[in-house]
Structure 1
């Protein structure tokens, strides 16, 4: 076997190993994603839990994403924060309003930010939707959502605190802008309100998007297919090359 043929053989084996490794990784991701989707589906089908129970789970280090919750309190509408969003093709805002919890509903913690839902771009000012500013004690069912610790990606714009515009859910700054301190007074999570209609029709609740694409099987098949193609094409090529080398040596 010539030196160049040996190099080609090593390259083919390396490429085959890499492609198989990528296929195996995608297969493992497929198992993980299917388990995650099943977990979310099971949670969404469950009965709403008291907010205090979900808070205790969070403090114990457990995952709380998409757990149905129920809570009761009073909205502080004059402190609402606005997250830029799209809903059914329209640009606008998710309205994050601090809810002052009823005494005893979550031990020493008193405030939780609730994503009440979507309002059109031109209705950012609460004065344009007074009917939706529910007064007094309200009962809410929704989904618990984790608060990210940092901006999720460099491509996400920075929040414009001066204009009350958020591009990522920065709970610390939402709390500060609303006049609260995170330590002890604000729960370290969000609640996405459910689809219960608000007075006046705004905000439009139930806007939680659960869109977790699961293309890992397709990717795994692609990588393993490429590995087989490399094995077949490369094997035929090397075989023909070895035959030619033997003929050359015999002549």
Structure 2
């Protein structure tokens, strides 16, 4: 029985060390990711990927890359996605932009408050003709928001789910698998408000690693104490033989 307990404690100890090491590896990955994203944010904009590049786009390699693109907005097919920003609750305005090759890219033109969701209330900002947009490449946010699923049939959106929006609003069109968060360049009339992208990564891996390693150290200390106590008692002249049961 004592042998089985010792094996079990050793297994827990090894597992704690493995978890700590895994978190150290995750820390290295996250630190590298943050450095790469910071480099992208500081770079000059490049042309937004075209159809030949769509299949190769990945979150690790492309998200938050600064891009630019030109075309004409299809304002009659805009999608409002619920948003909570530093300016309060409201909506993101996602508008398809048709590029010269005929493909569409959804552009998050920015935030509008709830009382300006009607395009007629911000008609000045509905840019006509050729437009050039620069901003950050973002990847799709499928499913919906926290405890709220997108409802394409009811035109209620809680996340920027590109494939679902394209299927509901842009059937038959070639739509890029990403969207672009427009930068802070002001729109006529002041709405929508761009440049509100929050670039933030949770990075608690060092804390987690120290926690797992600390638990392993405590367990090791407890095991050493138990062994020493056992030996001390075994060395006493009046110690009774321990049961093997």
> How far off its partner does 1:122 sit?
2.0
Q: 1:151 maps to what in 2?
A: 143
Aligned residues: 238
Contact conserved, 1:132 with 1:200, CA < 8 A, in 2? yes
Q: 2:109 maps to what in 1?
A: 116
Q: Distance in 2 between matches of 1:122 and 1:237?
A: 68
Over 3 Å counting, the alpha-carbon distance change for 1:218 and 1:89 in structure 2 is: farther
> How far off its partner does 1:89 sit?
5.7
Partner secondary structure for residue 212 of structure 1: coil
> How far off its partner does 1:61 sit?
4.7
TM-score, normalised with respect to structure 2: 0.88
> How far off its partner does 1:206 sit?
1.0
Q: 1:210 maps to what in 2?
A: 199
Residue correspondence of structure 1 range 23-62 to structure 2 within 5 A: 23-52=20-49, 55-62=51-58
Contact conserved, 2:137 with 2:181, CA < 8 A, in 1? yes
> How far off its partner does 1:246 sit?
4.8
> How far off its partner does 1:9 sit?
2.1
Q: 1:90 maps to what in 2?
A: 88
Q: Distance in 2 between matches of 1:243 and 1:152?
A: 62
Contact conserved, 1:156 with 1:167, CA < 8 A, in 2? no
Contact conserved, 1:69 with 1:142, CA < 8 A, in 2? yes
Structure 2: gaps of 5 or more residues: none
Contact conserved, 2:109 with 2:194, CA < 8 A, in 1? yes
Counterpart check, 1:134 vs 2:127: yes
Contact conserved, 2:71 with 2:97, CA < 8 A, in 1? yes
Q: Distance in 2 between matches of 1:142 and 1:192?
A: 5
Contact conserved, 1:95 with 1:117, CA < 8 A, in 2? yes
